[in-house]
């Protein structure tokens, strides 16, 4: 089954997010200028709470991951590329989709991604992610760099990011995680992407 990412994500976010956050901080907090249509409306308090959640539970232990990862959630295109052949996904997720990334030459590059909608799919994702995390050393949690933000921005269908966006930097992989409804919702990787020219 092939669904458009925007439609699937809007439905999933409606299930996860109870409402929008009205207080905002300056996007200068990110330390770089955002793309023209981008809005990042996250308070310092929201960021610190999300960071603490990841520090406590993002680990190679599936029991710890179960505390923060549940359906629905998104495995973004670069992370999906790394995890899709995992033995934990011998039964692939039902909702696979394609993220379309506009290139400077006016062309579009497509990247497959997955929406994990059931408890079984979320469990498979946790197991595959735990394997990846076991190879990644000690994690450092921080705001995204400009390059990492632009990679994430290229694949997300939303103009406004109203949940904390945190990078979990490891020795091999940098995971970027967006929160929605107080929990991690979108997971991707931002060091192993190659855009066609």
**pTM: predicted TM-score of the whole model, two decimal places:** 0.82
- Confirm whether 98 is domain-assigned: yes
Residue 36 lies in a domain: no
Domain membership of residue 168 (yes or no) is: yes
Q: How many domains does the chain fold into?
A: 1
CA 123 – CA 117 distance, rounded (Å): 11
Residue 31, in any domain of the structure: no
* Choice between 127 and 91, residue whose per-residue pLDDT is larger: 127
pLDDT in tens, 17-42: 433 332 333 333 788 888 888 888 88
Give the residue numbers spanning the domain of 137. 5-26+41-189
77 in a domain, yes or no? yes
pLDDT at residue 194 is higher than 70: no
Residue 1 has pLDDT above 60, yes or no: no
State yes or no: pLDDT of 189 exceeds 60.
yes
The confidence score (pLDDT) of residue 193 equals: 65
The Cα–Cα gap between 167 and 173 comes to 10
DSSP letter, residue 14: H
Q: Is residue 135 part of a domain?
A: yes
Cα separation, 87 vs 117, in Å, equals 19
Task: Tell me how far apart the alpha carbons of residues 138 and 59 are, in angstroms, rounded to a whole number.
Answer: 9
What whole-number distance in Å separates Cα of residue 169 and Cα of residue 158?
A: 24
Q: Write the CA distances from 98 to 7, 26, 78, 109, 148, integer angstroms.
A: 12, 32, 11, 10, 20
Q: What is the pLDDT of residues 115-156, one digit of tens each?
A: 999 999 999 999 999 999 999 999 999 999 998 988 888 777
Asked, for residue 54, whether it belongs to a domain, the answer is: yes
C-alpha span between 129 and 92 (Å, rounded): 15
Instruction: Assign 196 a pLDDT band (cuts: 50, 70, 90).
Output: very low
Among left, alpha and beta (phi > 0; psi -120 to 50; other), residue 28 is alpha
- 194 occurs within a structural domain: no
């Amino acid at each position: 089954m092939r669904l458009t990412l925007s439609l699937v994500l809007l439905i999933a976010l409606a299930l996860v997010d109870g409402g929008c956050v009205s207080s905002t901080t300056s996007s200068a907090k990110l330390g770089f200028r955002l793309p023209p249509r981008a809005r990042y409306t996250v308070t310092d308090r929201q960021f610190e709470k999300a960071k603490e959640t990841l520090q406590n539970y993002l680990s190679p232990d599936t029991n710890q991951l179960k505390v923060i990862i549940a359906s629905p959630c998104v495995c973004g295109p670069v992370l999906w590329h790394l995890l899709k052949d995992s033995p934990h996904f011998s039964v692939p997720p039902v909702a696979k989709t394609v993220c379309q990334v506009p290139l400077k030459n006016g062309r579009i590059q497509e990247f497959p991604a997955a929406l994990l909608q059931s408890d079984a799919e979320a469990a498979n994702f946790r197991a595959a992610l735990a394997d990846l995390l076991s190879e990644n050393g000690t994690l450092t949690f921080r705001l995204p760099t400009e390059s990492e933000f632009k990679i994430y921005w290229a694949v997300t269908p939303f103009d406004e990011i109203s949940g904390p966006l945190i990078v979990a930097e490891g020795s091999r992989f940098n995971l970027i995680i967006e929160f929605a409804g107080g929990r991690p919702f979108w997971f991707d990787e931002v060091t192993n992407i190659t855009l066609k020219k």
